[in-house]
Chain A
């Protein structure tokens, strides 16, 4: 992964417009958060392989970035994205990493289901 270049990422997002795509959306504080600090909550959510079509998609912000995808009946939203890559299967993988390289959020778009 490399730091997000918003102009390039915008072009890649556009390449998925109006197509049926699979989404992996995830956020996590880490499973041990409340074990290490009883005042914080462990929060984890992920959706893998939700099938959507979006008619508009944008990357916004000055970094970390926000991405919003407008779908037929709703929205997909992620905030805190710092890095991206397009892998050999042409999937757009975006993630937000903290200073220690730990993933805090991920938004991934693919034309084929994630394994």
Chain B
């Protein structure tokens, strides 16, 4: 079966923090990548320094940043799903899962990246992951993609153990930095730190050298 990656995450920049390395590596290997981004992060708190955005202009600014990042990561198919930042968990879970199911059935990914429900800190992250899992469960076992989950809650290790997948992304680290920088309205303070100390600061080791994922354990597959 032809390899195909589908990424479903709620905010522009989630992909750059969590999976830019994986996406860049897959594109290098000529694997088609679809990114479905649920919201435009229009309720984000960072407005730039000096201020470049306000609550009403942030949406369009982040949309442009996301389109730029899709080019940097060479994503073939970028979809903006039009939900509102901070409201995903209040949508009808079944309808949200219907929407994701429709995308999954159309794209037919072999690999799907989303957030690990319950271990992804932001309510939108958890709600997105939960609905993606709900959608994948509706597929027949043999139709299901492998699901790589991003988890970063402080209690993740005690509940879901160590990550199942660790990917060396050193060869695409520069692309990941470019992607993070392109989300300028949100990442200026991190970019400042990266530029001061370079990407070899201990706190960025993880960031630019490896990405880790948990493979979602579907109960009925055990």
- Interface of A with B (CB < 8 Å)? 1, 24, 26, 28, 30-32, 35, 38, 44, 46, 83, 85, 87, 91, 93, 95, 97, 100-104, 106, 108, 114
Write out the residue numbers on chain A whose beta carbons fall within 8 Å of the beta carbon of B105.
Answer: none
A100 to B44, CA, bound (A): 13
A114 and B51 form a contact (CB under 8 A): no
**Which of A28, A31, A32 has the most C-beta atoms of chain B within 10 angstroms of its own C-beta?**
A31
A13 to B34, CA, bound (A): 46
Partner of A91, one of B56, B121, B123, B189: B56
Taking CB atoms and an 8 Å cut-off, the chain B residues in 1-51 that contact chain A are 43, 45-51
Partner of A102, one of B45, B55, B57, B121: B45
A101 touching B86 in the complex, CB below 8 Å, given contacts A31-B123, A91-B56, A93-B54:
no
A35 touching B121 in the complex, CB below 8 Å, given contacts A95-B55, A103-B55:
yes
A83 to B53, CA, bound (A): 12
- Interface of B with A (CB < 8 Å)? 43, 45-51, 54-57, 86, 121-123, 153-154, 188-189
Sample 28 A-B pairs with CB under 8 A, ordered by A number: A1-B47, A26-B43, A26-B55, A28-B45, A31-B86, A31-B121, A32-B121, A32-B122, A35-B121, A35-B153, A35-B154, A38-B154, A85-B54, A87-B54, A87-B56, A87-B57, A93-B55, A93-B56, A97-B51, A100-B49, A101-B51, A102-B45, A102-B46, A103-B45, A103-B47, A104-B45, A106-B55, A108-B56
Partner of B51, one of A83, A91, A108: A83
Majority DSSP secondary structure for residues of A touching B = strand
A42 to B56, CA, bound (A): 23
A-B contact count (CB 8 A): 58
Query: Lowest 9 CB-CB distances: which A-B pairs, in order?
Result: A101-B49, A102-B45, A31-B122, A35-B121, A103-B45, A30-B45, A1-B51, A106-B55, A101-B47
- Quick one: closest B residue to A93, CB to CB? B54
B56 and A46 form a contact (CB under 8 A): no
A101 touching B56 in the complex, CB below 8 Å, given contacts A32-B122, A35-B154, A44-B86:
no
Write out the residue numbers on chain B whose beta carbons fall within 8 Å of the beta carbon of A97.
Answer: 47, 51
A106 to B122, CA, bound (A): 21
Partner of A101, one of B50, B123, B153: B50
- Quick one: closest B residue to A104, CB to CB? B45
- Quick one: closest A residue to B189, CB to CB? A100
Write out the residue numbers on chain B whose beta carbons fall within 8 Å of the beta carbon of A95.
Answer: 47, 54-55
B46 and A101 form a contact (CB under 8 A): yes
- Quick one: closest A residue to B124, CB to CB? A31
Other A-B pairs, 9, CB within 8 Å; known A32-B121, A108-B55 = A28-B45, A31-B86, A31-B121, A35-B154, A83-B51, A85-B54, A97-B47, A102-B46, A104-B45
